[in-house]
Structure 1
């Protein structure tokens, strides 16, 4: 399948689990398509970008190993993603990577470099500080909590942001922030 064919196929992806699952399995069964999927995901001003992000998230949820060869591409480009519908799945993939790292998932722990972690951390702080929806903020809190065990400067920054924004945010933000603050303290 060419990049153009994949791009056209992504027109059929919608919010249904069935469609996202179908295309995630297509990627898993054809890993040579993943770089093409990422190219589409990182065409950040394109309306198809979020659809690629949904498929990438589902693929990573099914098997995080498929992100490993693409960690550099993913981490170097996530800061450019800005369409709300694409930001949420990107933040979720960051959380999935952090969770795998926390759980000593061998392929992730071996492949995840200092630079990868720093790029994820930077993006997650941006999601917390910027005017993003609650889901990316919640995923970012979890990701930062996990990496905060390794980087001692994260918790003071995270606490400051969560406490500062607490009264201004939604109930969902407050619930996740309470959870994270409780774990930190």
Structure 2
């Protein structure tokens, strides 16, 4: 598979998991992660499809993605549509959970402060601007973890979550929001 082949595959990609997994695996196998990450940018024309595939590359071959975390974190500050942001928010949830856990791991060495700040920016933007509950839930969990380091996050996050709880979102998101509020306040 070449970069050109990858773009063609992404142009034809539908949301079926089997296809996303196939492309995600092929990208790692053919060492095309830099190309896939570049295709995640909005100007590529295949941004959300590339983000779907990046999620699968990350879930299936997480450590192969580590050398490209700087480029992945830069995506959080880009204007990617909600369909593409969901997999990025899911990746941020995994990264932040590992970074702030008590066990020593490689993420603690390679997820630099500037990268964490980009995740904060992207997750807050997604939480505030989207009505997609999966995106919001992943963002909230990431922001909760990041708030363990950045002391300004919780005072900003609490009123946003309280407002979202008053709005017409599904019970799944509301349950997540209440759980995070209880952790912050308790």
Q: Is the TM value for this pair above 0.5?
A: yes
User: Is the CA contact 2:93–2:142 (under 8 Å) kept in the aligned structure 1?
Assistant: yes
**Which residue of 1 is the match for residue 23 of structure 2?**
23
Please give the secondary structure, in 1, of the residue aligned with 2:15. Answer: coil
* 1:122 partnered with 2:125: no
**Which residue of 2 is the match for residue 101 of structure 1?**
99
Give TM-score scaled by structure 1 length: 0.90
Deviations 1:104-149 (A, max 9, x none): 4622111000100011011111111113411111100000111111
User: Is the CA contact 2:76–2:121 (under 8 Å) kept in the aligned structure 1?
Assistant: no
CA–CA separation in structure 2 for the residues paired with 1:149 and 1:56: 27
RMSD of aligned Cα (Å): 1.7
Please give the secondary structure, in 2, of the residue aligned with 1:106. Answer: coil
Larger deviation, residues 104-113 vs 48-57:
104-113
Question: Relative to structure 1, is the Cα distance of residues 105 and 56 closer, same or farther in structure 2, using a 3 angstrom cutoff?
Answer: farther
**Which residue of 1 is the match for residue 8 of structure 2?**
8
Larger deviation, residues 58-67 vs 122-131:
58-67
- Runs of 5+ unmatched residues, structure 1: none
User: Is the CA contact 2:76–2:123 (under 8 Å) kept in the aligned structure 1?
Assistant: no
CA–CA separation in structure 2 for the residues paired with 1:100 and 1:65: 13
| 1:45 CA displacement | 4.5
Give TM-score scaled by structure 2 length: 0.90
- Runs of 5+ unmatched residues, structure 2: none
**Which residue of 2 is the match for residue 159 of structure 1?**
158
